[in-house]
């Protein structure tokens, strides 16, 4: 009994030590949220609860720049947007910015633009949507925004037909350690279509194991072994063929670290 009490006290003290180590004098704490079931180190205050300001209203995101069809004259692309009914905070609520089909950039500030640098000349696609602190996207129709634009020259064909069904890969991404490695989310955004039996489906393959999804909702994996993992996400039509649109298939790798690792920051 004494040993169990000491073990619990030691665990709590260790978490507190990590909180101080990672955040300095800021107002942070470990919070076990109702969605991810994880004890995550988050700042305490507005914009950290993963909820809309008004739970009776949707969350809306509108990309302001670049604009559809715009030709950006330089290699730097400044992204600005309007976000309604959702507060952002460092390491809390944020927005996922995806240029073409690269891994997303998390952005926590509506007061200034995010700038993509060294963007190649030609056509590009920018997608954006709000996310909870644990990187689960909000799936209101108004929450997703997409624009197609050019850099330096108005030549080439856009990779994505935004009028047709398409999928946007979000998570997993990067490295997972500590509490974050215990439950890992698979999340994506579906546009211009619905998943169903006999209709559009999403197929994912994790380390050689294939699963077909007929509902659009996040998937949580528990107890993944330490090491590198490979995930493939595909959008299929009613015949089971890959949808003929840009980035209907995305392959990524991510790393799960052993229990000895320190709690990882948000990526």
Report percent pLDDT > 90 for the chain.
Answer: 77
Burial 15-30 (b: 16+ CB within 10 A, else e): beeebeeebeeeebbb
Examine the pLDDT at 67 and tell me if it is beyond 70: yes
Give the count of domains, the chain. Answer: 3
Residue 147, SS3 per DSSP: strand
Q: What is the pLDDT of residue 238?
A: 95
pLDDT, tens digit, 9 for 90 and up, residues 72-81: 999 999 999 9
Tell me which H or E stretch contains 32: strand 28-32
Res. 44 pLDDT band, cuts 50 70 90? low
Examine the pLDDT at 30 and tell me if it is beyond 90: no
User: pTM for the whole thing?
Assistant: 0.82
Examine the pLDDT at 108 and tell me if it is beyond 50: yes
Q: Final residue of a domain: which of 151, 182, 214? A: 151
Domain with 110 in it = 60-151
pLDDT, tens digit, 9 for 90 and up, residues 138-193: 999 999 999 999 999 999 999 999 999 999 999 999 999 999 999 999 999 999 99
Examine the pLDDT at 39 and tell me if it is beyond 90: no
**Same domain, residue pair 137 and 170:** no
pLDDT, tens digit, 9 for 90 and up, residues 229-266: 999 999 999 999 999 999 999 999 999 997 653 444 44
pLDDT, tens digit, 9 for 90 and up, residues 191-240: 999 999 999 999 999 999 999 999 999 999 999 999 999 999 999 999 99
Q: Final residue of a domain: which of 117, 151, 185? A: 151
**Same domain, residue pair 36 and 65:** no
Q: What is the DSSP string of 170-229?
A: EE--EEE-GGGGTEEEEEEEEES--B-TTSBEEEEEETTEEEEE-S-S-EEEE-PPSEEE
Does 263 map to a domain? no
How large is the average pLDDT for residues 52-62?
A: 97
Examine the pLDDT at 5 and tell me if it is beyond 80: no
Does 157 map to a domain? no
Of 224, 101, 225, the residue nearest 167 (C-alpha): 101
Does 156 map to a domain? no
Does 231 map to a domain? yes
**Same domain, residue pair 72 and 122:** yes
Q: What is the pLDDT of residue 46?
A: 78
CATH of the domain at 96: 2.60.40.10
């Amino acid at each position: 009994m004494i040993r169990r009490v000491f073990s619990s006290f030691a665990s709590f003290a260790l978490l507190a030590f990590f909180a101080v180590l990672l955040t300095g004098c800021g107002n942070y704490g470990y919070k076990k949220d109702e969605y991810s079931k994880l004890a995550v180190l988050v700042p305490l205050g507005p914009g950290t609860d993963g909820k809309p300001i008004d739970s009776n209203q949707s969350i809306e995101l509108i990309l302001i720049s670049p604009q559809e069809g715009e030709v950006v004259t330089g290699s730097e692309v400044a992204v600005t947007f309007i976000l309604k009914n959702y507060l952002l905070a460092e390491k809390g609520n944020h927005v996922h910015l995806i240029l073409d089909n690269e891994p997303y950039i998390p952005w926590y500030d509506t007061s200034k633009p995010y700038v993509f640098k060294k963007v190649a000349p030609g056509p590009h696609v920018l997608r954006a949507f709000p996310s909870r602190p644990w990187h689960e996207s909000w799936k209101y129709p108004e929450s997703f925004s997409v624009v197609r634009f050019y850099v330096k020259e108005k030549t080439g064909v856009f990779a994505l037909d935004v009028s047709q069904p398409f999928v946007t890969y979000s998570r997993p991404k990067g490295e997972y350690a500590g509490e974050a490695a215990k439950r890992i989310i698979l999340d994506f955004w579906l546009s211009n279509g619905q998943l169903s039996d006999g209709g559009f489906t999403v197929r994912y393959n994790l380390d050689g194991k294939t699963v077909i999804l007929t509902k659009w909702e996040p998937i949580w994996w528990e107890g993944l072994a330490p090491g590198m993992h490979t995930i493939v996400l595909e959008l299929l039509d009613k015949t089971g063929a890959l949808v003929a649109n840009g980035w209907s298939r995305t392959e990524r790798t991510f790393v799960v670290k052993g229990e000895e690792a320190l709690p990882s920051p948000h990526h």
